Amino acid sequence: MKKIFLILLLLIVFNSAYSQYFTPRQLFPGLFEVVQLSDIFPDNKTFVDATPKRDQAAIMKDYNDQKDKPDFNLKKFVSDNFIIPGTHNDGFKSDISAGIRKHIDTLWQVLYRKHDTVSRYSSLLPLPNDFIVPGGRFRETYYWDSYFTMLGLQESHKTKIIQNMIGNFAYLIDKFGFIPNGNRTYYLTRSQPPFFSMMIDLLAKDEGDNVLIKYQSELLKEYTFWMRSAGTLEPGQAYRNVVRMPGGEILNRYWDESDKPREESFKKDVNAAKETKQKTEDFYRNIRAAAESGWDFSTRWLDTTGKLETIQTTFIIPIDLNCLIYHLELTIAKSYHLQGNENKYQVYLTKALIRKKAIQKYCWSAENSWFMDYNWKLKHTTPNETLAGVYPLEFNIADSTQAFKVATGIKTKFLKTGGLVTTLKRSGQQWDSPNAWAPLQYMAIDGLNKYHQTGLARSIAENWIKTNLQVFNDTGKLMEKYNVIDTDVKAGGGEYPLQDGFGWTNGVLLNLLNHYHIDQL
């Protein structure tokens, strides 16, 4: 009787006005697990993005009535009851002869999405404005991807689309208190690297500094999300995204509210958890926190063995995250300064300066001459040099001596014929060597230019552009990531096949082509 009551209660909840905020696993218990652990779809993201053709309760009733019959066909049942998503750009054929600039201009149209009304029980979260998606399996808006996409949109003079996308992110902050990883219900437990204040800076180049005042409320809400409960912690304690350091400073980490397998990578997470010595819940939390970082996955989150089952993301103070929140604090301070509110300006400026000192204190490694992540549990920097170490240059946190040493490290360790490798380790993970990603190339190039390392910055840009053009001329595609050591070999690793499209690659490439006045190499 109790079980029947719970089922009825769930059905009432699911059929409420808020049903679209339930995840596929919550909406289709039992069916979800069976589908995701089967081989119906090679990519677990396919089913969680599928749209039910009819009422959730009716689908579940039929599934429970039919699933134990000897002639039950799971694949047919799913295809009968769900619209299986494509990648939208499957039919697009590029014209190599038209050149790379024309290709990117056409891709803005291919990757453009209308903010159509979302179907009931879809995992998609509705947005008020049209937007650009990354491409391939990534059918929705993504948080940190969008900043680097906007770099190209600005070069294409598509300010209106930038405004719309920022408006969507402001809407998500107002609606949920933060910007989710992407606009899917299964992403509502985590965010991504907080580039919202960087987006505001970008828009201010076209619209003026008043946009800082316009979005001040959302900037403050995002800051509140990342700093929840910071004032209640003692040194050595952590809660959600905040950690109080031994000296009393507050720094941030990546975190996810859920300790269950990711729905979009369910089978891989369940299988990986079988190999770990951690508590299963801790392992899932660490996997999810790495997903919030955008670097899923990399040896920067692992112990010295480099094995995924040792992932310890929540123990790590990431250098890039804290640089971004430093920028957020400065942006909020500037918004108050523009309003003439000097008291609040000083409050947030002070927060930023304290964070800057803490980054220097905990993340600069004199031994490595590099900015490193910090393991707050072990109370020392992690052993992994990664390209995240360039972020203090982008945000003017490094002093001139540190910047010179970082530039030397970039040139001697990270720079390859095709661009900058992400880390110095080969692990098979996609955010490790030999792979390279457009966002990190841009952050390194822009950061080096801020410290007058213009020659090195240009060398990186030229290598990266050459790699992009070579693959485009060979395939007609711009990829999500590239192999920059063996440039004739496709980038590998990761939980899914190499994706093309690709929003942030397009954005960074067009920005660099224009900045360096390059048409061909």
Dist CA 133 CA 110 (whole Å) = 9
CA-CA-CA-CA dihedral for 172, 174, 180, 182, to nearest 10: 0
- Strand blocks (E) in 177-267: 238-239, 242-244, 250-252
Catalytic, 480? Answer: yes
Nearest to 506 by CA among 182, 206, 156: 156
Q: What is the total residue count of the chain?
A: 521
Burial 120-138 (b: 16+ CB within 10 A, else e): ebbbbbebebbbbbbbbbb
> Can you name the residues that pair with 52 across neighbouring β-strands?
82
263, 296, 373, 495: the active-site residue: 296
Give the single-character DSSP code of 499.
P
Print the SS3 string covering 168-190: HHHHHHHHHCCCCCECEHHHCCC
Residues 401, 360: Cα–Cα separation, whole Å:
13
Is 462 among the catalytic positions? no
In the Cβ-directed half-sphere of 294, how many Cα atoms lie within 13 Å? 24
Q: Which of 49, 263, 480, 500 is catalytic?
A: 480
| Residues with catalytic roles | 296, 480
